[in-house]
Amino acid sequence: MSLINENKDFGVIAELIPNNASVIDVGCNDGSLLEYLREYKNIDGRGMEIDQKKVQLCLAKGISVIEGDADTDLYDYPDKLFDYSILTYTLQATKSPKTVMQQLVRISKKAIISFPNFGHWKIGASLLLNRKMPVSKKLSYSWHETPNLHFCTINDFIDLCEELEIKIEKKGDLSNKKLSNFSGKNFLDSYFNEVGLFLVSKD
């Protein structure tokens, strides 16, 4: 059974992580990604989650989880404690994406970051045609109730990595379940990937 067929996002992330790695999932939800990685990659996993109901679900699954906030609680970890940190669909909801990214590459050797790409053509078209904030499957909140504070595009993310001297090693294309080496900005990615997924690091 291929990892990728099991769950699209999980499978692509799992491909990036070697067996027995130590991993922290920041914004780990109900712990299902960590559980998946524990099963298929035998990782030593930790979670951080702000929503207590989800913290309870993690505890019941035997996942070590800190009820905490990515904006304030990553400072508690020493440098390069983990092999990998994961931040899926959370960057846009943090108060300071910049410091969160800096913390992620500080506490882990490599970081996997995914976020909704605000540069996707449908979003652009929706804004252009409807003059309304886009609502889609990946961006499912209305503007007045969204927890998302900082939307960015794939190109914005790449620029921020450059500014922070964070190295982008790989990029993922979730709709085609594909990983490839990163070689700079790419027109197709920024228009056609609904989700940006990158493997980054900073020595």
Partner 1 sequence: MSENKIVTLAEDEPLNLDGGGSLSKFKTAYTTYGKLNDKKNNSILVCHALTGDQYVASDHPITKKNGWWSMVVGPDKPIDTNKFFVICPNVIGGCMGSTGPKEINPENGKEFATDFPVITIADMVRAQKLLIDYLGIEKIFCVTGGSMGGMLVLEWLSKFPEMVHSAVPIATATNHSAQNIALNELARQSIMADPNWQSGNYYHSDKKPMKGLSVARMAAHISYLSKEALQSKFGRNLQDKNSLDYSFDADFQIESYLRHQGFTFVDRFDANSYLYITRAMDYFDVSSSNNGSLIEAFKNTQSKILCVSFTSDWLYPTSENKKIVKVFNSLGLNVSFIEIETENGHDSFLLDEPKFFEAIKGFINSTFENL
* Burial zone of 124 (CB within 10 Å; 0-12 exposed, 13-18 middle, 19+ buried): middle
CB of 85 to partner 1, least distance (A): 13
**Which stretch in 6-14, 64-72, 91-99, 171-179 sits in contact with partner 1 by CB under 8 A?**
64-72
Which helix H or strand E contains 122, and what residues bound it?
Answer: helix 121-130
| DSSP-based three-state secondary structure for 26 | strand
- If one asks whether residue 77 binds partner 1 (CB under 8 A), the answer comes out as yes
Could you tell me if 102 and 130 are in contact, meaning their C-beta atoms sit under 8 angstroms apart? no
CB of 52 to partner 1, least distance (A): 7
**First-to-last C-alpha distance (Å) of the chain:** 35
CB of 167 to partner 1, least distance (A): 24
Rg, C-alpha atoms of the chain: 16
One of 3, 4, 81, 160 touching partner 1 (CB under 8 A): 81
Q: Indicate the residue among 6 and 76 with the shorter CB distance to partner 1.
A: 76
178: closest CA among 189, 191, 166? 189
Which helix H or strand E contains 73, and what residues bound it?
Answer: helix 70-73
One of 22, 146, 155, 186 touching partner 1 (CB under 8 A): 22
**Which stretch in 58-66, 116-124, 173-181, 190-198 sits in contact with partner 1 by CB under 8 A?**
58-66
**Which stretch in 56-64, 129-137, 144-152, 179-187 sits in contact with partner 1 by CB under 8 A?**
56-64
Q: Which residue has the tokens 């291929």?
A: 2
Q: How far apart are CA 193 and CA 63, in angstroms?
A: 31
CB of 86 to partner 1, least distance (A): 17
CB of 125 to partner 1, least distance (A): 43
Residues of this chain that interact with partner 1 (CB under 8 A) are 22, 46, 52, 55-56, 58-68, 76-78, 81
